[in-house]
Amino acid sequence: MTTRLICQARTRGIGANIALKDAVRLCCALNMANRAERPVIDAIRDYETDMIDYGFRAVRTSLHAMNQAVMEGRVQSMLSRAALRIINCIPPLKRRMYKRMREE
């Protein structure tokens, strides 16, 4: 049997789906071998080859999504800080902001 090792960013949350996909594909490969449609070794080798291909693709996609989320978080954080600094430098805006905060 094979062991599935894959790192997914938590933001994607597809680990269970990939595990189910792996299980179905392995089951199909073993069924083909059981029905003598293919030798067991060939069926498992093809399963592992496909698994490695889409597994690494999933990791790359996950890493890209994680990096994008981190970058968007940084940009948003920088913009928020800049806006607060501007408000802090302009007394009428600062008073208005303070007043709105007290109303909530």
Select from 39, 52, 62, 53 the least CA-distant residue to 2: 52
pLDDT > 80? residue 83: yes
Record the pTM.
0.51
- Burial label, 76 (beta-carbon count in 10 A; 0-12, 13-18, 19+): exposed
The per-residue pLDDT for range 6-53, each reduced to its tens digit, is: 444 454 556 777 788 889 999 999 999 999 999 999 999 999 999 888
Provide mean pLDDT across the span 58-69. Answer: 78
Q: What is the pLDDT of residue 34?
A: 94
Contact 4, 22 (CB under 8 A): yes
Dist. CA 85–CA 89, nearest whole Å: 6
Select from 102, 2, 98, 99 the least CA-distant residue to 50: 2
Residue 30's CB is within 10 A of a number of other CB atoms, namely 16
pLDDT > 60? residue 78: yes
More confident: 104 or 92: 92
Residue 6 in tokens: 């894959």
